[in-house]
Amino acid sequence: MFLKGNPCIVIFVVLFQNVFGETREEAKKELKLVLGYPLDAVSNFTEMATEHGYVSEQHSVTTEDGYILTMFRISKGKKCKKPIRKPPVLLMHGLLMSSDSFMDSGPEAGLAYLISDLCYDLWAPNIRGNYYSKRHIKLDPSKDHEFWDFSNFEFGYYDIPASINYIINYTKSDKINYIGYSQGGSTFFIMNSERPEYNSKIGVGILLEPGSRHYYTRSQLFRWLGDTYQLALPTLYQAGLYEALPLGGFVQEAASFLCKDYALADFACKFALGLIDSFHPGSIKTETVRVLFGHFPAGTSVKNMAWYGQALNVDEFQNFDYGATGNLQQYGTSQPPAFNLSLVEVPVVIIHGRHDYLTSPADVEWVTSKLPNVLEQFYVEDPMWNHFDITYSQFTGRSILGKIKEYLDEFSA
Ligand SMILES: *[C@@H]1O[C@H](CO)[C@@H](O)[C@H](O)[C@H]1NC(C)=O
Ligand SMILES: *[C@@H]1O[C@H](CO)[C@@H](O)[C@H](O)[C@H]1NC(C)=O
Ligand SMILES: *[C@@H]1O[C@H](CO)[C@@H](O)[C@H](O)[C@H]1NC(C)=O
């Protein structure tokens, strides 16, 4: 009893883990389990997959600019009883998340499980800067600030193309089907507009609550966060702070420590998620809340957060704004260039909810209207469906999986 929930123990854990050198991660995990963290909250992708009876693999992908990304694969779902279908499916996570976000709601609702159960060869990459992809062939993320010089543009220009090329080469397939959530949507648009040759490497793009411009974002908390990072960027840089909201940082450690408690998870932590997005009572199971803060926030660059701050305030989906002088140096124009959405020629399906306060219906409809090859724009029937429901709702099976399956089936052999 004394052990559970005593903050002194956490301080002890932090001191203790540093003594252990090599076995540090393992010791930290053991102690967290003693403290009452749910197993999935302290497990990585392959550990969760194994725990729930799924066969998984871990891969390393190196980008053209030297970042080393971790990508996971579930090669065969537990409930899949038929041959694996082709092509492979790439499932891309959102801002401050990782591949693990698609497993936090467990095998009954997590999209990584559900899609592999449909006999698709599932690949889940991790974008540069999150806890799985904080490596580089030359740069050290803890010493070299150049490591953190990226925003949405680099994800779309380098990380997703490298992940696609890796999957295509590894599976000897000529295409992939793409499912992207939130930032996994905006970066899909960036890739296909900045490197149009990637359009032909994708059968269909299924975009869940996709990001683009964020002009009509209703979440006041996210607006505050974006504005804060944007305004504070020079100060943070001067202070030598380049990384935002990492796993193992204060926000994540405190959130996962508090939210592992059932009563807090059920009330305060659900309330906090509602404040970041919108309220959808009954959608997220308390057990999922206990788990998800073990993997969220997953870390990104301060620059990427500042990009969101900019995107909240301009009526356009555009590259990072360095100010007039900086833009002239960087782009040769005083305004940052907009992404040319008419070059995104790949067939896409847009799936979204009416109660999403992060990528609001007005912005999703705006980007949809700019895309030349939209097969369907689908509103989830539940009027309360919001942003976090994609990863954390217990109702993904009945609300979105049918539509995802319909288009995967159409574009698969
Ligand atoms: C995930 O956990 C397994 C088992 O502990 C370990 O072998 C693997 O290296 C971990 N993967 C990552 C990317 O941390
Ligand atoms: C393609 O895959 C093979 C093994 O399957 C590997 O040896 C080779 O290095 C890969 N090429 C690239 C460009 O990743
Ligand atoms: C966007 O791409 C289309 C198709 O190539 C082209 O016609 C158009 O001029 C481009 N728009 C801009 C602003 O560059």
Whether pLDDT at 1 is above 50:
no
CA of 187 to the centre of ligand 3 (A): 19
Residue-wise pLDDT for 349-398, tens only, equals 999 999 999 999 999 999 999 999 999 999 999 999 999 999 999 999 99
For residue 63, the ligand closest to its alpha carbon is: 2
Direct distance between the N- and C-terminal alpha carbons of the chain, in angstroms, rounded to an integer:
55
Q: Which residues are CB-neighbours of 262 under 8 A, at least 6 positions away? A: 286, 290
Q: Which residues are CB-neighbours of 408 under 8 A, at least 6 positions away? A: 85, 89, 115, 118, 120, 177, 204, 206
Q: Residue whose CA is closest, atom 7 of ligand 2?
A: 170
Q: Output the pTM of the full model.
A: 0.94
CA of 160 to the centre of ligand 2 (A): 17
C-alpha 298, offset from chain centre: 9
Which H or E run includes 122?
Answer: strand 120-124
Q: Is 340 in the pocket of ligand 3 (CB under 6 A)?
A: yes
Q: How far apart are CA 116 and CA 135, in angstroms?
A: 28
> Which residues form ligand 1's pocket by a CB distance below 6 Å?
44, 46-47, 58, 70, 132
- The catalytic position among 116, 182, 399, 412 is 182
Average predicted confidence (pLDDT) for the chain: 94
Q: How far apart are CA 105 and CA 256, in angstroms?
A: 15
Q: How far apart are CA 267 and CA 265, in angstroms?
A: 6
Q: Residue whose CA is closest, atom 5 of ligand 1?
A: 47
Tokens (6 digits) for 209: 């609550």
> Would you call 387 a catalytic residue per the annotation?
yes
Q: How far apart are CA 350 and CA 379, in angstroms?
A: 8
> Would you call 315 a catalytic residue per the annotation?
no
Q: Is 18 in the pocket of ligand 3 (CB under 6 A)?
A: no
Whether pLDDT at 9 is above 90:
no
Residue-wise pLDDT for 243-298, tens only, equals 999 999 999 999 999 999 999 999 999 999 999 999 999 999 999 999 999 999 99
Give one word for 323, left, alpha or beta, with left for phi > 0 and alpha for psi -120 to 50: left
What is the pLDDT confidence band of residue 24, given thresholds at 50, 70 and 90?
A: confident
Q: Residue whose CA is closest, atom 13 of ligand 1?
A: 132
User: For the chain, which residues make up each domain, given as ranges?
Assistant: 1-36, 44-410
Give the closest residue to 96 by CA, choosing from 321, 286, 247, 313.
247
Q: Which residues are CB-neighbours of 241 under 8 A, at least 6 positions away? A: 302
Residue-wise pLDDT for 67-110, tens only, equals 999 999 999 999 999 999 999 999 999 999 999 999 999 999 99
**Is the CB of residue 261 less than 8 Å from the CB of residue 281?**
no
Instruction: Assign domain 44-410 one CATH number from 3.30.56.10, 3.60.21.70, 3.20.20.70, 3.40.50.1820.
Output: 3.40.50.1820
Dihedrals phi, psi of 301, to nearest 5 degrees: -90, 155
